[in-house]
């Protein structure tokens, strides 16, 4: 990681935060009517009780735009003051143009640079590393970073091992030059392509272009090796978190909030336990939103902020893992 400490460079902080989830709630009881599953199995194995589902005509950018408007307003900025827009997503509106460009259009901004970022469920942390370095370097002043997904559109609703896990939503932050104590203290990102087939959408790209055959084989839906992913997930969340703690020379006891990617309650609890982070500091909202991939961390931030649980000055540890495989962490003095 590029170490900017003590080099006289400016720091960055999160100046605005927003989130948005679709209105439609899909409960475990609803899923019982769709596949051979039960509320009890889903709660016990994942911690999920319900998730939000976008309507048929709602694309990822539609959710992202709502979250972005809120984040920009909370940063006391006008959309035109945003210099760069990064949208982390695995469910873009189209292959191209980017979802970030669609968001830019809706915001009425025509001066920013805009691009999408593909790092699956670690996308927000990857985006934060870019936004942080761009602001610290002085290249940009105000960066809109969004994690947004409509995973319901790529979920195989006949596959009980995956369809119970995912949900739709968007979270957004504005990253700006730090003025006071609040700042992004570190961001670490990692990947290992060896495990690329643990979690994937095999069809629809250049490897298996969309054909009648690929559709019949359901290749355009998410496929996952659940057990393998589970084991690697715990290890990578712990390793990424330790990298943040060691880099900042702090102990887990100094963390006020641990916000992990919201994939599975058992994964998060196992990681927190290994890190010695007490249960009351662990943020869980997957019971209400499921796994929203790149959106899960910014949605969790927005969710606890609106509940009054995210105080300025709090030491917040973010950690994520996802397809790729990718993983990473960020330490923030909120
Ligand atoms: C998917 C996951 C919840 C499955 O839990 P698990 O405890 O590993 O369960 P298994 O896959 O071993 O399956 C156990 C049994 O439950 C069954 N099962 C799977 N999904 C089920 C469902 N929705 N309802 C009921 N039974 C189900 C399996 O068919 C299997 O049955 P069998 O023993 O008769 O073969 C878990 O592996 C997981 O969370 N993995 C990580 C996933 C993840 O985080 N992905 C996102 C990364 S960003």
Tell me the per-residue pLDDT of 184-230, one tens digit each, with 9 for 90 and over.
Answer: 999 999 999 999 999 999 999 999 999 999 999 999 999 999 999 99
Tell me the per-residue pLDDT of 88-103, one tens digit each, with 9 for 90 and over.
Answer: 999 999 999 999 999 9
| Calpha distance 77→95 (Å, rounded) | 30
Q: Which atom of ligand 1 is nearest to the CA of 229?
A: 41
Residue nearest to atom 28 of ligand 1 (CA): 161
Q: Is 230 in the pocket of ligand 1 (CB under 6 A)?
A: yes
Is a pLDDT exceeding 60 seen at residue 72?
yes
pLDDT at 2: 54
Q: How does the average pLDDT of the chain come out, rounded?
A: 96
| Calpha distance 201→152 (Å, rounded) | 13
Q: For residue 74, what pLDDT band results from cuts at 50, 70 and 90?
A: very high
What tokens appear for 61 in the block?
Answer: 């950018």
CA of 44 to the centre of ligand 1 (A): 11
Q: Is 278 in the pocket of ligand 1 (CB under 6 A)?
A: no
- Pick from 46, 226, 234, 261 the residue to mutate for probing ligand 1's pocket: most ligand atoms within 8 Å of its CB: 226
CA of 196 to the centre of ligand 1 (A): 19
Tell me the per-residue pLDDT of 247-266, one tens digit each, with 9 for 90 and over.
Answer: 999 999 999 999 999 999 99
pLDDT at 7: 59
Mean pLDDT value across residues 1-14 = 72
pLDDT at 9: 78
Half-sphere exposure of 308 (CA within 13 A, CB side): 0
Alpha carbon separation from 155 to 91, 227, 266 (Å, rounded): 11, 18, 22
Cβ-in-10-Å burial (0-12, 13-18, 19+) of 52 comes to buried
CB 304 within 8 A of CB 257: yes
Mean pLDDT value across residues 120-134 = 98
Is a pLDDT exceeding 70 seen at residue 60?
yes
Nearest to 20 by CA among 301, 328, 334: 301
CA of 190 to the centre of ligand 1 (A): 26
Domains and CATH numbers, the chain: 12-180 (3.40.47.10), 185-333 (3.40.47.10)
Q: Is 264 in the pocket of ligand 1 (CB under 6 A)?
A: yes
Cβ-in-10-Å burial (0-12, 13-18, 19+) of 2 comes to exposed
Q: For residue 127, what pLDDT band results from cuts at 50, 70 and 90?
A: very high
- Pick from 227, 260, 261 the residue to mutate for probing ligand 1's pocket: most ligand atoms within 8 Å of its CB: 227
More confident residue, 182 or 131: 131
Tell me the per-residue pLDDT of 157-170, one tens digit each, with 9 for 90 and over.
Answer: 999 999 999 999 99
Is a pLDDT exceeding 80 seen at residue 50?
yes
Give me the helix-helix angle, 60-74 and 99-107, nearest 10°: 50
CA of 249 to the centre of ligand 1 (A): 37
* Ordered DSSP codes for 136-203: HHTS-S-EEEEEEEEGGGG--TT-HHHHTTB-EEEEEEEEEE--SS-EEEEEEEEE-GGGTTSEE--S
Mean pLDDT value across residues 108-137 = 98
More confident residue, 227 or 114: 114
Q: Which atom of ligand 1 is nearest to the CA of 263?
A: 44
Is a pLDDT exceeding 80 seen at residue 5?
no
| Calpha distance 269→272 (Å, rounded) | 5
What sign has the CA pseudo-torsion 147, 164, 54, 212?
positive
Is a pLDDT exceeding 70 seen at residue 4?
no
Give me the helix-helix angle, 296-306 and 123-137, nearest 10°: 80
Is a pLDDT exceeding 80 seen at residue 278?
yes
CA of 182 to the centre of ligand 1 (A): 40
Residues with a catalytic annotation lie at 121, 261, 291
| Calpha distance 58→91 (Å, rounded) | 12
Q: Count the Cβ atoms, other than its own, within 10 Å of residue 236.
A: 25
The H or E element spanning position 113 is strand 113-117
Is a pLDDT exceeding 60 seen at residue 6?
no
Q: Count the Cβ atoms, other than its own, within 10 Å of residue 196.
A: 12
């Amino acid at each position: 990681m590029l170490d900017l400490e003590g080099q006289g460079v400016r720091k960055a902080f999160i100046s605005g935060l927003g989130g948005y989830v679709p209105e439609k709630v899909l409960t475990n009881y609803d899923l019982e009517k769709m596949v051979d599953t039960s509320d009890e199995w889903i709660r016990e194995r994942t911690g999920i009780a319900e998730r939000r589902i976008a309507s048929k005509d709602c694309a990822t950018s539609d959710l992202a735009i709502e979250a972005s408007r809120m984040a920009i307003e909370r940063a006391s900025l006008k959309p035109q003051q945003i210099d760069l827009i990064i949208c982390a997503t695995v469910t873009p509106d189209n292959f191209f143009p980017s979802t970030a460009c669609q968001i830019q259009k809706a915001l009425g901004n025509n001066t920013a640079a805009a691009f999408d970022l593909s790092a699956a469920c670690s996308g927000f942390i990857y985006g934060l590393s870019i936004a942080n370095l761009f602001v610290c370097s002085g290249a940009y002043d105000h960066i809109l970073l969004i994690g947004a997904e409509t995973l319901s559109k790529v979920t195989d609703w006949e596959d009980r091992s995956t369809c119970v896990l995912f949900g739709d939503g968007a979270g957004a932050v504005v990253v700006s030059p730090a003025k006071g104590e609040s700042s992004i203290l570190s961001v670490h990102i990692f990947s290992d392509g060896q495990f690329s087939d643990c979690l994937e959408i095999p069809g629809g790209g250049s490897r298996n272009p969309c054909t009648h055959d690929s559709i019949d084989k359901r290749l355009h839906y998410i496929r996952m090796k659940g057990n393998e992913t589970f084991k690697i997930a715990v290890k990578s969340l712990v390793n990424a978190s330790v990298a943040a703690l060691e880099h900042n020379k702090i102990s887990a006891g100094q963390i006020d909030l641990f916000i992990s990617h919201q994939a599975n309650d058992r994964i998060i609890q196992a990681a927190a336990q290994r890190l010695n982070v007490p249960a009351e500091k662990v943020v869980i909202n997957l019971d209400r939103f499921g796994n929203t991939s790149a959106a899960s961390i910014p949605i969790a931030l927005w969710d606890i902020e609106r509940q009054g649980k995210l105080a300025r000055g709090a030491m917040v540890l973010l950690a994520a893992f996802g397809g790729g495989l990718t993983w990473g962490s960020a330490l923030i003095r909120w």
